[in-house]
Amino acid sequence: MSDLNFDLSLVSKYHAASQKIRILTENWLEIHSYCPCCGNSIVHYENNRPVADFYCKECQEDFKLKSKQNRLSSKIIDGAYQTMIERLPSARNPNFFFMVYQDYSVKDLILIPKHFFTEDIIEKRKPLSPKAHRAGWIGCNIILKQIPESGKIYYIKDRKISSPELVLEQYKKTLFLSNQKSLMRGWTLDVMLCIDKLASNIFKLEDIYKFEAVLQAKHPENHFIKDKIRQQLQYLRDKGYLVFNGRGIYKRI
């Protein structure tokens, strides 16, 4: 992964900017990137698929690549809303690579594991206008701020490359989420987001209780928010995401 530059010789015959960038970014990812689950290289699907661009031959994980010039935005434009929502529960839902490039080289490369994808992070866009080629078509955005920090695995951050060992370790750390049913997983992710908002990695139960109103607004049908918070903290502790130091004090690992 040491060479962050795109291979411009690949696109000398192409004119459309979007096509050039797709070829350059996909080629770079296939040569330099690897599967966060097993560390093996990833392979481009031979034919274009709407759902995934790459896969790992070893563990069959699927991957999709989205790229953007200069800097990461808070929302990433993706494909059809309905397709995205329908495939969320599928085991073949792809992991997402987000690449930020600048001057034909990679600046940031972030992986969002598939188990961080829930309806909460998919935003419905306005239907295309009646005059558009695909009138009425509804796309979606992926909202990055709704994803806990532990769900953003940096292969490259501001041109600094992480070690594969670190990437694989980070991926493993939250793999327990993939075994959860979606409603339960939603609660775990909500509590993970609350923990992200705290100033310190060491915190008290009361610090998380301060988010009770926020969580209540999100889950109006639930009347036992504090119980739910404690249940989730216990779950995260059991999964090695937190340690409990006694006397209501938790520490994020």
Site for Zn ion, rule CB under 5 A: 35, 37-38, 56, 58-59
- Closest approach of Zn ion to the CB of residue 63, in Å: 10
Residue type, 113: P
88 forms beta bridges with none
Nearer to Zn ion, 29 or 236 (CB): 29
Question: Quick one: CA dihedral 43, 160, 157, 7, positive or negative?
Answer: negative
Instruction: Tell me if 160 sits within 8 A of 107, measured CB to CB.
Output: no
Nearer to Zn ion, 38 or 202 (CB): 38
Q: In what order do the strands lie in the sheet with 122-124?
A: 75-80, 139-143, 122-124
Measure the CA–CA gap between 80 and 221, rounded to whole angstroms. Answer: 29
- Closest approach of Zn ion to the CB of residue 35, in Å: 3
- Closest approach of Zn ion to the CB of residue 42, in Å: 8
Query: Residues for the chain: how many in total?
Result: 253
Nearer to Zn ion, 79 or 164 (CB): 164
Q: Is 130 exposed, middle or buried (0-12, 13-18, 19+ CB in 10 A)?
A: exposed
Nearer to Zn ion, 63 or 101 (CB): 63
Nearer to Zn ion, 58 or 86 (CB): 58
- Closest approach of Zn ion to the CB of residue 37, in Å: 4
- Closest approach of Zn ion to the CB of residue 24, in Å: 24
